[in-house]
Amino acid sequence: MTRFTVNGQPVHYRMDARTPLLWALRDASNLTGTKYGCGAGQCGACTVHIDGAPARACQVTIGSIEGAFVTTIEALSRDRSHPVQQAWVAENVPQCGYCQSGMIMAAAALIEKNPDPSDEEIDQAITNICRCGTYPRIRRAIRRAAQ
């Protein structure tokens, strides 16, 4: 049995310890805001926070994060007051929207660590892929959230 905390709630998954966190969140906890894109650690659609740092949930086994604190987009956006979420709305960032929860999680982790990132630092930190090409709006939203 694997135990850790998801969005402030203790979880006890009765799943194989090698199960990717992405599938435990989606299938066992019904937290479907965390998306499956590539399953290979490339796209970032599955980005969550583990102990405050961004992580690609498709690449993290549940057995490797015993005792950790996991945060998903559902907790970040719960009361619609997070500055990154507000900036995303103000800049009308999404197009198709599929990658956006991962983008917001990556952006929130960046702002937490670096409250005033330069464009270069944004580009280095946000390695998630958006096939609609919303990158200019993502940069603007991150700068807005950082104000």
Contacting residues toward ligand FES, per CB under 6 A: 36-39, 41-46, 56, 58
Give 71 or 91: the residue with its C-beta nearer to ligand FES: 71
CA-to-CA distance for 20 and 76, rounded, in angstroms? 21
Compute the Cα dihedral for 56, 32, 38, 80 and give only its sign: negative
Q: What's the CA gap between 28 and 30, in Å, rounded? A: 6
Residue type, 113: K
CB of 105 to ligand FES, least distance (A): 12
- Pick 60 or 141: Cβ nearer ligand FES: 60
Residue 41 or 115 having the CB closest to ligand FES:
41
Nearer to ligand FES, 87 or 105 (CB): 105
3-state helix, strand, coil in the chain (%, to 5): 40, 15, 45
Shortest distance in whole angstroms from residue 67 CB to ligand FES: 22
Smallest gap from Cβ 71 to ligand FES, in A, equals 16
Strand ranges, E, within 9-144: 9-13, 47-50, 53-56, 69-71
Q: Which residue is nearest to ligand FES (CB)?
A: 58
Tell me how far apart the terminal alpha carbons of the chain are, to the nearest angstrom: 43
Q: Which of 6, 1, 12, 121 is nearest to 57 (CA)?
A: 6
Kindly state the smallest distance separating residue 79's Cβ from ligand FES, in Å: 27
CB of 54 to ligand FES, least distance (A): 11
User: In this complex, which beta carbon is closest to ligand FES, that of residue 25 or of residue 45?
Assistant: 45
